[in-house]
Structures are given as structure tokens and as C-alpha cells.
Amino acid sequence: MASERSAAAIRDAFLSGRRSAVQIAEDCLARAMAAQRFNVFSRVLETEALAAARALDRRLAAGLAMPALAGVPFVAKNLFDLRGHPTLAGAAPRQADAPAARDAAVLRALLDAGAVPIGLTHMDEYACGATGENVIGGAVRNPWDPSRITGGSSAGTAAAIAAGVVPLGLGSDTNGSIRAPAAFCGIWGLRPGTGRLSTQGCFPYAESLDAAGPMAADAGSLALAWRALRGGASDALVSGHGRLRIGVLRAGFAEHAEPQAWNAVLRVAAAFTSARMIDLPDVDRARDAASIISAYEVARNHLRHGFAGRHAGYSAMVRQRMLAGLALPDDWYRTAQAWRRVWRARMQTLFQDVDLLLTCATPYAAPPVGAERLVGEQGRIYAPRADAGHMTRPVSLAGLPVVAAPVAVPGADMPLGVQLIGPPGGEAPGLAAAMRLEEEGVCGFPAQPRPADGR
């Protein structure tokens, strides 16, 4: 996205009087309609956007103090409650449900910070997917190449940002649903540490792993959104990332990645003065534990939400996933949770010797829509629906904060992503490193897809 469309630049244009909040909102709404060719929005919020913008213009004219994101447009995954609208969660039958009575906590935090809601975005059905393909609503298309997927399940939010509609948005991430679409679409994403932000008003997937977080066109916008989501609390963003000690998670990751994806990690690692390879045992066991916990919890969450009486409204794929989850024995779940505690302690111990960990965000760049399998450069066979989150699940299991950073690798025509993994409570080091990496041109995808407004 062009720099004049960053959150900071938009806010400055509004506060300086160069552009009214209504003008900013109207331009974004026009881009939102143009972006529908990528199947981005389940609902464009014209009424809400213009009402919020008019209120901000009146507040500025009255000389009142302005909040941190005043005038900045944003989108939200249609997994978050927005008062007055049904929360679709990617499922068409939920259109007949009662509208939400109040806003989700993270959505309300952005509204309170003066951000202007532009739309609710498409996603995988009930967040049960990693590709952004929904048999009910269709595939969300990647603005870089509409023949390719966005990743999921925060698909529409990633596409809206990549297409230049807005500088930031809300997504959710259980096992990679912010990080994979951020990587595939060449934008930035933050999966906060588990429990760092409220998930109140977010339709649950697996409650012990779920996290809500921001996605953005640039690292600065991501940091501004994080601060707003934290209620204005400012974590210190330490400069001088060259002095950070970096650990590169290699074993269990590198062998599953395409060469270009791994080269993206090495490119980022080379920007630091101190980086060493780390080979953790049992990474696949961590993946299995995350999968068991997710399957067990999502099935029981849906049982509580009426699956027994509403199963006919589920697609066959998601219905089968629920049934398989309900069949998992309780002792499997208990064993997986016990292993999770071991894995979390093992990952946290690494931060005695390093400040940040790096590894791939996805094993490859965005594959074609509808691809059931891919054959990699070295003959490895991938199944995107199953392994787009292969690199993110072990990190989710540890509950650590992660910035997904977009990287351009020579010879790659699509974005790739790298995970900048911080210690518990350490979103700030990842964000600070992200901003410096972007400033130095190491991270960020330099070319841009054609903006949604055609400019």
C-alpha cells in the first residue's frame, strides 16, 4: 500500500484538516465496492462508516481532543460481533440469526480509538480452513493474483488490506489464521500472545488457543493498532534491532519449506548481527497436540452452539470435522494439553539466550484456488488445506506473540512471510524489529497489486 494510505498518514491528513473524515470514509467505501471482485466483503458498512466519520468531523470542528486512530478506516473479520448485525462466521445460515447486542471487545476498542468501520469481511466457514475458500460464499481472491488463494481463515481482512481498501483490520488466529493470510497477501499481521487481548464477542474456534489481533499494510500501522487494542497502553518499542539476539527455528520447519520460503527466513536473519540456528526436537508432536486440542474444542464449542439441531446447515467438510472432533477421546485431549505445557516451557526457555525467534510463516507462496495438492521444487507434495498452517501450529501451542512479516525474495513473484516470535508478553520487541526491518527494506513486499480504486 502506498505510504499516504498508512494509518498514521490518514490520521495526520484528518487532524490537519487536509481531508475530512467523511471524505476519507467515502473514498474507502468506493474502494471497498471495487474490491468486491476479490470477494472480500460479507457486508459493506456504509451507514456506520459515514455516521462515525460525521461524528469525528463535528468533534474536530469543536476543538475536542481526538483519539489515537481518529479517521482511520478499518475492516473486521465477520467472526467479531458488531452491534446490530448477525455474526456470520462464514456460514450463510447464520444470516437468519439475531443481530449482535453489543460489539466484540477488540472491535469496540478500535471504535473507541476513533477508527471508522468500512466492512465485515469473508472468511472460511466457522474458521475451519486455512485457504479462504468457502463452499458457501466462494473463495476470497488474492489481490496480487486473483487465481490464487489468500489463505485463511482471516481471508477477507488480508485481501482488503492488500487491495488498498484500508490500512488495517481485525483477524483471529488459532493455528495461523492471521499469519498465513498475511504471508500470502504480502501484509503484516500480529498474533498476540494467548490471552493478551479479550476474545469476548468473537465466535469461538478453540478457546484455549484462540487469539484476536490486528493486520495491517505496514509495520507502523500494525503497531498503532496494537496500542489502540491495548487501550492506549504503550509497550516500549526498543530500537536498534541489530543488537537483538536471534534464534532461527530450523529442524521441524526448514525441511517442510520450499527453498524460497526458507530463503525469506535467512534474508531476515542476515539483517541481525547475532543469529544462530536452533533445532528443537518433537516439533511434529507439537503440531499433533495443537491439532488434537483444536479439533476437540471446536467440536464441543459447536455442540454448545446447537450443532445437533443445525448440522444440516454446515458444509459437508465442516460437518465431518465436527463429527471427528466429537469422536476424540477425552484422554487424548488431556494428553495433548499435558504435552502443551511441556512444549510451552521448552519454547520459553529459549528466550534465556535469544530475544526473538524466526521461522517461516507458510511453507510456500499462495497456491492456486482449488488446489488439492502442490508439488514443490524438490518433489515434495503439499496439501494446502492441511498444511498451510504447518509452520504456525507449533508456535500457537506455545502461546507466544508473533509478528508475520512480508518478505520479497529474488525470483519470487508472490509474497512470502516470516514469523518474528517474541517471549511471553513480548509483542513490543517483535513490533520494534518489524518497523526497523521495514525501514531498511528487508521486510515488506516492494511492488503493490493494483489498488481497488484503480489508481
pLDDT of residue 445: 79
Evaluate whether residue 446 is within a structural domain: no
Closest by CA position to 127, among listed 214, 53, 184, 211? 211
The full DSSP string for 327-355 is TS-HHHHHHHHHHHHHHHHHHHHGGGT-S
Residue 433 confidence (pLDDT) above 70:
yes
Residue 356 confidence (pLDDT) above 60:
yes
Residue 410 confidence (pLDDT) above 60:
yes
The angle subtended at Cα 249 by Cα 245 and Cα 252, nearest 5°, is 170
- How large is the average pLDDT for residues 290-319? 94
The domain that contains 117 carries what CATH number? 3.90.1300.10
- How large is the average pLDDT for residues 168-180? 98
Lowest mean per-residue pLDDT among 2-11, 35-44, 72-81: 2-11
At position 319, the amino acid (one-letter code) is R
**Pairing of β 141-142 and β 145-149:** antiparallel
Residue 257 confidence (pLDDT) above 70:
yes
Q: Cis peptide leading into 153, omega within 30 of 0?
A: yes
pLDDT of residue 240: 52
Of 20, 42, 154, 177, which one is the catalytic site residue? 177
At position 451, the amino acid (one-letter code) is P
- How large is the average pLDDT for residues 310-322? 93
Band of the pLDDT at 286, cuts 50, 70, 90?
Answer: very high
pLDDT of residue 237: 58
Evaluate whether residue 69 is within a structural domain: yes
Of all residues in the chain, the percent with pLDDT exceeding 90 is 89
What distance in Å separates the CA atoms of residue 450 and residue 163, rounded to the nearest whole number? 7
Evaluate whether residue 398 is within a structural domain: yes
Q: For residue range 187-228, list pLDDT tens digits in order.
A: 999 999 999 999 999 999 999 999 999 999 999 999 999 999
Evaluate whether residue 245 is within a structural domain: yes
177 is an active site residue: yes
Evaluate whether residue 452 is within a structural domain: no
Band of the pLDDT at 1, cuts 50, 70, 90?
Answer: very low
Averaged pLDDT of the chain: 94
Band of the pLDDT at 236, cuts 50, 70, 90?
Answer: low
Q: Are 209 and 231 in contact (CB under 8 A)?
A: no
pLDDT of residue 135: 84
The full DSSP string for 266-298 is HHHHTTSSEEEEE--S-HHHHHHHHHHHHHHHH
pLDDT of residue 92: 87
What distance in Å separates the CA atoms of residue 357 and residue 424, rounded to the nearest whole number? 12
Closest by CA position to 358, among listed 432, 222, 254, 217? 254
Evaluate whether residue 153 is within a structural domain: yes
Evaluate whether residue 387 is within a structural domain: yes
Of 6, 42, 77, 294, which one is the catalytic site residue? 77
Band of the pLDDT at 452, cuts 50, 70, 90?
Answer: low
Domain residue limits at 132: 3-439
153 is an active site residue: yes
Grid coordinates in use for 254? 526448514
Band of the pLDDT at 243, cuts 50, 70, 90?
Answer: confident
Of 20, 42, 153, 396, which one is the catalytic site residue? 153
Of all residues in the chain, the percent with pLDDT exceeding 70 is 95
Residues pairing with 163 in the sheet? none
Lowest mean per-residue pLDDT among 29-38, 171-180, 299-308, 440-449: 440-449
Q: For residue range 115-168, list pLDDT tens digits in order.
A: 999 999 999 999 999 999 998 889 999 999 999 999 999 999 999 999 999 999
Residues pairing with 134 in the sheet? 138
Separation in Å, CA 57 to CA 4, 21, 50, 70, 75: 20, 6, 10, 10, 20
pLDDT of residue 455: 47
- How large is the average pLDDT for residues 37-50? 97
pLDDT of residue 270: 97
**How many domains are there within the chain?**
1
pLDDT of residue 241: 57
- How large is the average pLDDT for residues 264-292? 97
pLDDT of residue 242: 58
Grid coordinates in use for 52? 462515525
pLDDT of residue 4: 67
